[in-house]
């Protein structure tokens, strides 16, 4: 071993920590407390990687009070709420298409194998002057129930998914996000009335090959800004699409469980605008619809690891992010309260007399006032934010520390080492913080850990009463939402059990650590 390594191992802090840890690890509750606390700290740090959904309590992700996924093992036909399109951000979608075909059921389709990891799909319809369009030959007034475009000249891409359940989803929320780029004569100002009349279509094709048009953009709005358009799905459409995949007596109507979603771009026929067909043959140019997102969110009876709340928010994400709020408020509020309590206790105990009398009467006044009502008043007055809640808890959390430190200072200030420091001319501030404070610190550590428990419970109580930021995920807020949203009536026990369990476990971890610190650092307890 080198001299530098030996010197490092012989340093005071290393020797002190080694002795401390040697004593601490003898206590199983202390080790358990550190283990539980480490799990919560890890949850707080890695929350964005553990919980991928939005943790905001007011953000609706799925229907309210859905049960956790793991409960679906007892319900084989239960639908798990999820997004069932595999290429959610179109990473595997075709990148370009061209016009011109006589197959009214196909259009022009570029296979997905031609792609190179794009995060969007460009549906491009182009035309050269003098080229006739293949108009679908039927009555001029096209029937509304016809699911296909007016022309056979159209481009599309498609994706598919397998429906894994033997029942219909309760609801399906679809949306598509896209922007538009125009070129040539089709650009603004180059076409009569700037009315190009291209439309974007979305079809769902069931396993039997039946087409169901679920979206047709009739807005004719051409903007380079991406916009998300919701797609409504009626009960009749859901029954038509998914009903054939439900097994009845071991058989089902559709041959497979594969569902296709097709997105197409095509020009439209506007007889009422021009007194006849649009004169496409005289114009050259193109229109590109850039689709950036296609979503099909099927809602059933189950969602996520912890279900949903009364707002339809992800309970698991709130549970994970709630550890951040509890730890931040608990540690910071206790830190501020400890600092104030130590300073007040040192000054009151060391100087005594009128200084002690004034400071202790202030402490007595704050101790007499009921804590929770005063915190409620302060929270309302200061505002519902995390910073203000920390201040509110700290204002009422330093009194116990100050009395504890004062009693220890009264026992220490007349000892020989303090008299010796005075004799050599040390200042009062130097004596208080350099000589007395280190001797009262061991009992302070245990008090700090127990103070964190009080701060965590205070934050949970204020959150339950609705006095914290409603946009911040909190375990107390989850309990309040469960109580006010009718969780008990609906039997949604998971939104009550797990937040309460988190509060209990985190409080127990600090209690175990504080109890062990008291046994290790308190000489009287160590002698026993």
506-518 pLDDT, tens digit per residue, is: 999 999 988 888 8
Q: Cα 47 to the chain's mean position, in Å?
A: 9
Give the pair of three-digit tokens for residue 376. Answer: 């409620």
For the beta sheet containing 211-216, the strands, ordered from the edge strand earlier in sequence to the opposite edge, are 108-109, 155-162, 258-267, 198-205, 211-216
Give the pLDDT band of residue 112 (cuts 50, 70, 90). very low
Half-sphere exposure of residue 488: CA atoms within 13 angstroms, side-chain side: 4
Q: What is the mean pLDDT of residues 270-294?
A: 67
Q: At what angle do helices 353-368 and 399-412 cross, to 10 degrees?
A: 150
In terms of C-beta distances under 8 Å and separation of at least 24 residues, what long-range contacts does 419-427 make, across chains too? none
437-464 helix and 475-484 helix, angle to the nearest 10 degrees: 20
Phi, psi dihedral angles at 306 (to 5 degrees): -130, 15
Please name which of 292, 79, 276, 253 lies closest in space to residue 171, comparing C-alpha atoms: 79
Task: Band the pLDDT of 105: cuts 50, 70, 90.
Answer: very low
**Cβ partners under 8 Å of residue 353, min gap 6:** none
Residues 162-179 have pLDDT tens digits of 898 988 898 898 999 888
Q: How confident is the model at residue 526 (pLDDT cuts 50, 70, 90)?
A: low
Which tens digit of pLDDT belongs to each residue from 310-357?
Answer: 888 999 999 999 999 999 999 999 999 999 999 999 998 888 888 889
* CATH of 314-527 given 1.10.3720.10, 1.10.10.10, 1.25.40.10, 1.10.600.10: 1.10.3720.10
∠ at Cα 176 (174, 178), nearest 5°?
Answer: 175
What pLDDT does residue 507 have? 92
pLDDT at 51 exceeding the cut of 80: yes
> Interhelix angle for 437-464 vs 315-351, to 10°?
140
% of the chain with per-residue pLDDT over 90: 16
Lookup: tokens for 446: 């245990």
């Amino acid at each position: 071993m080198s001299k530098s390594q030996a010197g490092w191992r012989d340093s005071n802090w290393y020797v002190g920590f080694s002795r401390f840890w040697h004593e601490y690890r003898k206590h199983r509750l202390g080790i358990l407390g550190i283990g539980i606390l480490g799990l919560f700290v890890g949850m707080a740090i890695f929350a964005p990687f553990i919980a991928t959904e939005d943790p905001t309590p007011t953000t609706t992700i799925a229907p309210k009070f859905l049960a956790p996924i793991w409960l679906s093992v007892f319900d084989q036909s239960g639908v798990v709420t999820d997004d069932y399109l595999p290429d959610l951000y179109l990473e595997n979608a075709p990148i370009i298409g061209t016009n011109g075909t006589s197959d009214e059921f196909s259009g022009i389709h570029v296979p997905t194998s031609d792609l190179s990891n794009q995060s969007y799909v460009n549906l491009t319809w182009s035309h050269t002057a003098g080229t006739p369009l293949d108009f679908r030959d039927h009555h001029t007034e096209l029937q509304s129930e016809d699911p296909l475009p007016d022309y056979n000249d159209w481009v599309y891409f498609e994706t598919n998914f397998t429906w894994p359940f033997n029942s219909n989803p309760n609801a399906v929320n679809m949306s598509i996000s896209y922007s538009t780029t125009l070129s040539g004569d089709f650009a603004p100002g180059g076409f009569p009335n700037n009315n190009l009349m291209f439309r974007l279509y979305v079809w769902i094709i069931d396993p039997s090959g039946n087409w169901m048009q679920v979206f047709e953009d009739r807005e004719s709005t051409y903007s380079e800004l991406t916009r998300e358009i919701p797609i409504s799905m009626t009960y009749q459409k859901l029954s038509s699409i998914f009903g054939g995949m439900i097994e009845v007596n071991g058989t089902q109507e559709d041959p497979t469980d594969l569902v296709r979603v097709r997105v197409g771009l095509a020009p439209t026929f506007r007889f009422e605008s021009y007194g006849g067909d649009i004169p496409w043959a005289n114009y050259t140019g193109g229109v590109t619809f850039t689709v950036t997102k296609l979503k099909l969110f099927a809602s059933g009876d189950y969602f996520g690891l912890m279900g949903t709340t009364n707002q339809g928010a992800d309970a698991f994400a709130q549970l994970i992010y709630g550890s951040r709020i509890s730890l931040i408020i608990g540690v910071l509020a206790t830190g501020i309260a400890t600092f104030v309590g130590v300073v007040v206790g040192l000054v009151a105990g060391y100087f005594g007399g009128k200084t002690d009398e004034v400071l202790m009467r202030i402490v007595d006044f704050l101790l007499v006032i009921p804590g929770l009502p005063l915190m409620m008043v302060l929270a309302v007055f200061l505002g519902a934010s995390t910073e203000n809640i920390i201040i509110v808890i700290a204002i009422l959390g330093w009194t116990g520390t100050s009395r504890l430190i004062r009693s220890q200072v009264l026992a220490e200030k007349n000892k020989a080492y303090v008299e010796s420091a005075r004799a050599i001319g040390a200042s009062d501030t130097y004596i208080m913080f350099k000589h007395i404070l280190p001797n009262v610190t061991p009992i302070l550590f245990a008090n700090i850990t127990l103070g964190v428990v009080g701060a965590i419970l205070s934050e949970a109580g204020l959150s339950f009463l609705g006095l914290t930021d409603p946009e911040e995920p909190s375990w107390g807020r989850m309990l309040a939402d469960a109580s006010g949203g009718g969780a008990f009536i609906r039997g949604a026990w998971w939104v009550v059990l797990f937040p309460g369990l988190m509060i209990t476990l985190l409080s127990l971890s600090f209690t175990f650590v504080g109890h062990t610190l008291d046994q290790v650092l308190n000489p009287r307890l160590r002698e026993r």
